[in-house]
Amino acid sequence: MSRLSPSDLSAFLAVARHRSFRKAAVELGVSPSALSHALRVIEERVDLRLFNRTTRSVALTEAGERLYARVSPAFRDIQDALEDLNALRGKPAGTLRINAGRAAVQLALLPVATKFLKAYPDVRLEIVVDDGLVDIVGAGFDAGLRFGETLAGDMIALPIGPRQRSAVVATPEHFERYGIPQTPRDLDAHPCIRQRFLSGALYRWEFERGGTELSIEVDGRLTLTDWDLVLEAALAGNGLAYLFEARVLPLIEAGHLQRVLADWCPYYPGLHLYHPSRRQQPAALKAFIEFVKNDNAERAR
């Protein structure tokens, strides 16, 4: 078997992380066709198929999975060693990759990231928006952003951004037609805009008051998978929507939307920045963690 070079292994790891030649090619700065040719050469050298390819998908074979499991941690250790050199420069540098859902980026990450980039001009920040649950280690991310209750137990997490709360809203015209619901059970008489996760499951609207917790699968003729479209649909008069309070407060104050069931929508554990436990953290990640902690402290004053 011919020996593989570090550049060969970098190409293999990029495709394995993204499960896409196009996305991996963007990361590496080459064309998808050139990367595909390079992977064929690598497979010829090891005399094993590492990927199963179709016109729509790329998946690791058993041999590819075994190689990825052994090589990926080694390359991460190399990257960490290079990041350690930043300490000698006196200030953090490098690229920080964070995976987060769209709502998390809008509500918490982007405001903090904007201030962070001003404070650390030598750091590059790449935010990948993905509303599904992602293995951030396997996908090559330094950190992720999700709600606290969805985090894996082996992750280190800290709060980021303000507390979160949901709001049930619709246009004033909607309530003129259907009336004002007094309890979550009254939602049965209202058309609701439903949300579906990328997994296929419908989002259940959650309520709590006086120790009573309710999780309701609402009914409605319109179902969407994007939070921004849900808001647009509510403004267009398609029914009740269940959205983050921070997104709709300006529209409520302007009279475009009206809120109901506020006493059934308490604050809940908000968004968390999470990352794997490693002895050697990249300098950019370490700086961002400290920045988030300081931001939290300032908001608590």
pLDDT at 269 over 80: no
Q: How far apart are CA 236 and CA 233, in angstroms?
A: 5
Q: 210-224 as b/e, with b when 16 or more CB fall inside 10 Å?
A: eeeeeeeebebebeb
The chain-wide mean pLDDT, for the chain, equals 88
Q: How far apart are CA 277 and CA 158, in angstroms?
A: 13
Confidence at residue 168, expressed as pLDDT on a 0 to 100 scale: 98
Q: How far apart are CA 194 and CA 230, in angstroms?
A: 8
pLDDT at 181 over 90: yes
Confidence at residue 83, expressed as pLDDT on a 0 to 100 scale: 64
Confidence at residue 224, expressed as pLDDT on a 0 to 100 scale: 96
pLDDT at 291 over 90: yes
- From residue 286, alpha-carbon distances to 81, 87, 225 in Å are 14, 11, 34
Tokens 């729509």 locate to: 56
Q: How far apart are CA 291 and CA 272, in angstroms?
A: 14
Q: Averaged over 124-145, what is the pLDDT?
A: 85
Q: Averaged over 113-119, what is the pLDDT?
A: 95
The 10s digit of each residue's pLDDT in 194-243 is 999 877 889 999 999 998 999 999 999 999 998 899 999 999 999 999 99
Confidence at residue 151, expressed as pLDDT on a 0 to 100 scale: 59
Residue 293: pLDDT band by 50, 70, 90 thresholds? very high
- From residue 222, alpha-carbon distances to 226, 239, 243, 291 in Å are 12, 9, 15, 41
**Is the torsion defined by CA of 278, 281, 285, 288 positive or negative?**
positive
Confidence at residue 86, expressed as pLDDT on a 0 to 100 scale: 60
Confidence at residue 182, expressed as pLDDT on a 0 to 100 scale: 96
pLDDT at 185 over 90: yes
Highest mean pLDDT among 5-14, 140-149, 200-209: 200-209
- Alpha helices by DSSP H, 3-124: 6-18, 21-28, 32-46, 62-84, 86-89, 102-104, 110-119
Q: Which of 135, 129, 142, 134 is nearest to 103 (CA)?
A: 129
Highest mean pLDDT among 40-54, 86-100, 136-150, 254-268: 254-268
**Of 277 and 200, which is predicted with more confidence?**
200
Residue 163: pLDDT band by 50, 70, 90 thresholds? confident
List Cβ neighbours of 35 (8 Å cut-off, separation of 6 or more).
11, 14, 15, 21, 24, 25, 28
pLDDT at 264 over 80: yes
pLDDT at 154 over 80: no
The 10s digit of each residue's pLDDT in 66-98 is 998 888 888 877 776 766 666 555 678 888 999
Element (H, E) at 172: helix 172-178
